Structure 1
Amino acid sequence: MQSKRKIYNRVKIVIALVVFIVSIGFVNKRQNDALCKKLLISIENQQGNFFINEADINDLVTNGGREMVINLPYEQLELKDIEERIENHKYVESAEVYRDLAGNMMIDARQERPIARIFNPSGQDHYISERGEILPVSNRFTARVMVLSGSFFKKYLDKNMLVDDEGKDLFYFIKYIEKDKFWSAQFAQLKVDKRGMIEIFPQVTKQMIEFGDTYQYDEKLKKLKIFYDKILPDRGWNRYNRVNLKFENQIICE
Structure 2
Amino acid sequence: MKHKLRYIKLPVLLILVAFLFSFAEKRNNARKISEIKVQFVGGENLYVTEEAVNNLLIQNDVAATDIDKETLDLNRVERLLNNHDMIENAEAFLSLDGKLQAKIVQRKPIGRIVGNSTYYLDENGSEMPLSPYYSARVPLLLGVDSGAVEKVYPLVAYIQQDDFLTQHVTAIKRMSGNKFELQMRKLDFKVYFGKAENIALKFNNFKAFYKKAIQDEKLDTYKRVNLQFEDQVVCTKK
Same fold, TM-score > 0.5, yes or no: yes
Q: Secondary structure at the match of 2:206?
A: helix
* Deviation by residue 1:23-50 (Cα, 9 ceiling, x = unmatched): 4433331221111111112123342x22
2: CA distance, partners of 1:12 / 1:130: 65
Residue 219 of structure 1 is matched in structure 2 by 201
1: CA distance, partners of 2:197 / 2:12: 73
1: CA distance, partners of 2:139 / 2:63: 42
| Equivalent AA in structure 2 for residue 246 of structure 1 | Q
1:155 and 2:150 correspond: no
1:82 and 2:77 correspond: yes
1:61 and 2:27 correspond: no
Q: Which among 105, 126, 132 is matched to residue 133 of structure 1?
A: 126
Q: Which among 135, 153, 165 is matched to residue 171 of structure 1?
A: 153
Question: Post-superposition shift, 1:184?
Answer: 0.7
Question: Post-superposition shift, 1:106?
Answer: 1.2
Change (3 A) 1:23 1:194: farther
Question: Post-superposition shift, 1:241?
Answer: 1.3
Aligned residues: 236
Between 204-213 and 14-23, the greater mean CA deviation after superposition: 14-23
Residue 114 of structure 1 is matched in structure 2 by 109
Change (3 A) 1:173 1:15: farther
Aligned 8 A contact 1:45 1:113 in 2: no
1: CA distance, partners of 2:157 / 2:163: 12
TM-score (normalizing by structure 1): 0.80
2: CA distance, partners of 1:11 / 1:172: 75
CA RMSD of superposed structures (Å): 2.8
* Deviation by residue 1:63-118 (Cα, 9 ceiling, x = unmatched): 26x67711321122222212211221111111122111111111222221212111
| Equivalent AA in structure 1 for residue 56 of structure 2 | L
Change (3 A) 1:177 1:218: same
| Equivalent AA in structure 1 for residue 92 of structure 2 | V
Aligned 8 A contact 2:181 2:193 in 1: yes
Question: Post-superposition shift, 1:228?
Answer: 0.8
Q: Which among 73, 76, 92 is matched to residue 97 of structure 1?
A: 92
1:236 and 2:236 correspond: no
- Gap regions ≥5 residues in structure 1: 157-161
